[in-house]
Amino acid sequence: MKVKDVMNKDLERLGNKIPLNFDNIPVLFSEEELISCKDVIDDEYLNNNYYVYVLNQKKKLVGFITCDYIRLFLKEKVLFMFLSAIDHIHDGVVLVDKHSKIIYLNKAYSEILNIDKEKVLNKYVSEIEPGAAILSTLRQGTPILNKKIKVKSIEKQIVASINPIIIDNEVLGAISIFKDVTEIHVLNEELANVRKLSGYFYEGIAKPHNELPKNFSCIVGSNEKFLNCLKLAAIVAPTDATVLVQGESGVGKEVVVKAIYEASKRSEKPYVELNCSAIPESLFESELFGYTDGAFTGAHKSGKIGKFEAANTGTIFLDEIGDMPMLMQAKLLRVLQSGQIQKIGSNTINKVDVRVIAATNRDLKAMIKEGTFREDLYFRLNTFNINIPSLRERVEDIINLAEYFLDIYCKKYNKTLMLSENVINVLSSYKWTGNVRELQSCMEYAVIICQDDIIDVEHLPEEIKNSSIINLNREDKTESKKLKHEILDIERERIIEALEKFNGNKTRAMEMLGMSRRTFYKKLKLYNIDND
């Protein structure tokens, strides 16, 4: 479309608004393509003037175009280019107005949902799919990110991101961008059925090595560092050696300790646990060694046996040993050295045969330097040391553990659920400062919250969900860059096609494309198209 085709030739309408000269204002030439106006006229001029003047080749005024017309023309041109690009992406895109009327959908929408474009265009979503998620966005004005949605009218599964279009605080419509995940959903259902029929458990996937005893092979984990810990535990288990298990809170120290006990020659004997961080200092001695009748005010008449006596011939597990008071550390050391205990209020010394396993999440070497932990006790406990890595160091184990806990809680709450691809990505990238215990709590929460058949990001605890939004924002930026490159590729292809159509005639090619000479040659250079 040339400028002369749309200009107004009635110069009398300009009255006294004709400039004396046109040297300092943007003008158009009658033989130019109208699209060239975007190269010579900026928004500031359009917003502050009424007309754009049109000259002929002799620079004589021959007409004018209103600024309003040019603004509208440019908006339509940009919209056309944008929609052309959207029509070439592989995700489905649908745009609705505030009444849920479908005003645009791209080619992928028709292909994914197998719907003829003409059958749904200008129809209302509220009539076609009354339960559609996009209606919720229209009502509430809030976005929906990466949500698994079942399109009931055609039995399709999609993952969609839906955003409201808000102008001046009014919801004027919504746009939905989605992917087809029907095949993935079907495969997940088939996998769930296979699991149910075969009694398949995720412990089997994560078995460390066949040479590990049964008590250790059922512990979920394939990380090499973690497997080395299990091997050490399996080696020391049959002995009576004192073991110190270290690692951050929630890494699974108790699980390893229990496996050591069950694989030991004392597995049929007593197993007694004591959490040192949960005992008041004044009650520590009586808890460990017991007391006799009348040993102190408030004591039971029959006295009480202590943990060591209760564990005689078996194993005692002293959890959080780093929280034991200094005075009790000295008394514990004497028991470990002599194998003898003395109840409070008694003069009798009793022999005990107890294997000691201790655990802590604290840095005992640093505590020794600070004077809060006895060095001699440390060396006595540290006969055999096992240091369990954090879950952050076991990234390859995260999903196996998640599926293991998912299986447990699905049975507990009588559900059949799967993890979505988005959730797998979020769980794998999350930092897990609370380690395996935090992951376990996360999975129980998700199983309780989820009312669908697939756990998605929205079903995760807030802290983990918020971390996923940050990652999604990063992904959105990546998608934006990809879309920009796709648009540029399409424009390059159109220029090459135009040149080929007119056998390299640039004048005819730029006319077909609606580009000015300056813009055309600028694009040739940008896209490295042969300019000969």
If asked whether residues 252 and 228 sit together in one domain, one would say yes
User: How many domains does the chain fold into?
Assistant: 4
Q: How many residues are listed for the chain in this entry?
A: 532
Task: List the beta bridge partners of residue 6.
Answer: none
More confidently predicted of 156 and 240: 240
Taking alpha carbons only, the member of 141, 177, 181 closest to residue 162 is: 177
| Burial class (CB within 10 angstroms; exposed 0-12, middle 13-18, buried 19+) of 249 | middle
In a domain, 433, yes or no: no
If asked whether residues 74 and 95 sit together in one domain, one would say no
If asked whether residues 228 and 163 sit together in one domain, one would say no
If asked whether residues 20 and 99 sit together in one domain, one would say no
Alpha carbon of residue 76 to chain centroid: 38
Question: Are residues 286 and 306 in contact, defined by beta-carbon separation less than 8 angstroms?
Answer: yes
CATH of the domain at 135: 3.30.450.20
Beta-carbon count within 10 A of 521 CB:
15
């007119």: which residue's tokens?
Answer: 502
Beta-carbon count within 10 A of 64 CB:
22
CATH of the domain at 332: 3.40.50.300
If asked whether residues 60 and 92 sit together in one domain, one would say no
If asked whether residues 71 and 91 sit together in one domain, one would say no
In a domain, 261, yes or no: yes
Token output for 31:
């033989």
Question: Are residues 257 and 265 in contact, defined by beta-carbon separation less than 8 angstroms?
Answer: no
If asked whether residues 62 and 95 sit together in one domain, one would say no
In a domain, 216, yes or no: no
CATH of the domain at 520: 1.10.10.60
Q: What is the pLDDT of residue 273?
A: 96
**Structural domain range at position 122:** 87-180
If asked whether residues 61 and 111 sit together in one domain, one would say no
CA distance 222 to 392: 14
If asked whether residues 251 and 167 sit together in one domain, one would say no
CA distance 159 to 95: 16
Token output for 279:
């005992």
In a domain, 382, yes or no: yes
CA distance 361 to 248: 5
């009793």: which residue's tokens?
Answer: 350
CA distance 532 to 525: 12
In a domain, 71, yes or no: yes
CA distance 495 to 520: 9
The H-or-E segment that residue 332 falls in is helix 326-338
Last residue of a domain, one of 388, 406, 435: 388
Q: What is the pLDDT of residue 197?
A: 40
Question: DSSP state, 430?
Answer: S
If asked whether residues 102 and 55 sit together in one domain, one would say no
Strand ranges across the sheet with 170-180: 102-105, 92-97, 170-180, 156-167, 144-151
If asked whether residues 277 and 303 sit together in one domain, one would say yes
Helix axes 462-501, 517-526, angle to 10 degrees: 120
User: Is the pLDDT confidence value at 201 over 50?
Assistant: no
User: pLDDT (tens digit, 9 = 90+) per residue, 353-368?
Assistant: 999 999 999 999 999 9
Detail the DSSP E strand segments found in 7-91.
Answer: 27-29, 51-55, 61-66
CA dist 448 to 52, 460, 482, Å?
65, 10, 37
In a domain, 276, yes or no: yes
Last residue of a domain, one of 360, 388, 416: 388
Question: DSSP state, 204?
Answer: H
| Burial class (CB within 10 angstroms; exposed 0-12, middle 13-18, buried 19+) of 69 | middle
Last residue of a domain, one of 342, 370, 388: 388
User: Is the pLDDT confidence value at 141 over 50?
Assistant: yes
If asked whether residues 73 and 108 sit together in one domain, one would say no
Question: DSSP state, 221?
Answer: -
User: Is the pLDDT confidence value at 294 over 70?
Assistant: no
Q: In which band, very low, low, confident or very high, does the pLDDT at 300 lie, cut at 50, 70 and 90?
A: low
In a domain, 189, yes or no: no
User: Is the pLDDT confidence value at 385 over 60?
Assistant: yes
Q: Who's near 452: CB < 8 A, 6+ residues apart?
A: 148
3-state SS assignment for residue 18? coil
User: Is the pLDDT confidence value at 341 over 80?
Assistant: yes
CA distance 391 to 436: 6
In a domain, 324, yes or no: yes
The H-or-E segment that residue 151 falls in is strand 144-151
Of 42-51, 133-142, 238-247, the poorest mean pLDDT is in: 42-51
Mean of the per-residue pLDDT values for the chain?
83
Of 14-28, 67-81, 383-397, 493-507, the poorest mean pLDDT is in: 67-81
Of 226-235, 281-290, 496-505, the poorest mean pLDDT is in: 496-505
Q: For 214, list phi and psi in degrees, rounded to 5.
A: -55, -40
